[in-house]
Structure 1
Amino acid sequence: MKRIAVFCGASLGFNPIYKEAAVALGNHFAHHKIGLVYGGGKIGMMGAIADTILAHNGEVIGVIPKLLEKEEVVHAAVEEMIVCKKMSERKVIISKLVDGYVTLPGGFGTLDELFEALTLGQLHIEQKPIGILNVSGFFDGVLVQLDKMVSEGFLKQANRDMLIVGTSVEDLMQKMNDYKAPQISHVIHKVVR
């Protein structure tokens, strides 16, 4: 994979293990020459991963909506900063630039971006690997909810299986490299045409 989008928080959270995970992922990207596409912030988890990659002279592309383009938020050291009009436009731009998605701990925006990517995969609009780095069980509740959606008939197991889960950077990246998208459903295929 040449470029990966990373969805993560504008906060570091209360546990330093979250920042450590962002730094570890940034080091992996830099070492393997994987470009980062992210929300363009200099704070929180976003700042931690961007700073790590920039310290190794790696590729970092920020995509930030105009309403968030404030001096205290936008990462001034990122040379390629794409400013867009709306949050929804940001996701479209990011999806066009990347070969896959990784989600680190974050809040509402992080989950919004994750589920948008999963929906694009479910509808076969994209077939890119979508992973979460489940740092210290951060996403355990989300995973339980997804399993509940399957058991109650609201989500197909094949679509649930699109979400790649890793507990370490190496584990997650290996699973993402090995990912095979599910076959196109005949029902979805007919609807799309």
Structure 2
Amino acid sequence: MTTMISRFYASRRRAEAAAGELRNAGFRDVHRFGAAEGETAPDREGEIAALRAIGITRAMAETFADRMAAGNELVIVFAPFGKARLATTILDRHEPVGEAVAAPAPSAPMRQDATPLSTALGLSVLAKTKLPFESTFGIPSLTRPGWFATGGLGFGKANPAPFSSALGLPLLARGATPLSSMLGMRCLSSNPTPLSSTIGMPLLKGS
């Protein structure tokens, strides 16, 4: 389970130092809020919107915004399972002020996290490619995109050579008489009535 931990600081310098140390320690989900460079106070509605964007409830976002309006800087970290104590130690090292907040992190759907498992475990995304196995081992894809939904299973656009396409091989034969060509023989018969000719009988029925 991911834990949300927050601290307020009396200066931007301390907040930036805390956030920087968290990132250096491997925490990926770190956020700093407060007045921008040159501002005396942050935009309250803007800060609320930014807090809501990372999944903070409206009520909590308003409470945080009120504290920032009084001149405090806010740092929030979403610590993965087993890392909450380390995150707390780092935050407290930079002399926070006021009451701290620690709570279960908002759910993944609220936070719209594209990689919830990696975020929860504190890991980088394992693969950014559509074909991770092929990219990892340096081999071409055995099937082309859409093969199973089209020619491979007989749906949609017909694939004249699904087996060859699946294995990435050329067609075994392109001629009209593949068996004869493969064995190096001419066509067994070019006679349009081979059975009648073989037994010496006329056609059983004329046209």
**TM-score, normalised to structure 2's length?**
0.24
Q: Which has the higher helix share?
A: 1
**TM-score, normalised to structure 1's length?**
0.25
Structure with more contact order per residue of length (Cα contacts < 8 Å, sep ≥ 6)? 2
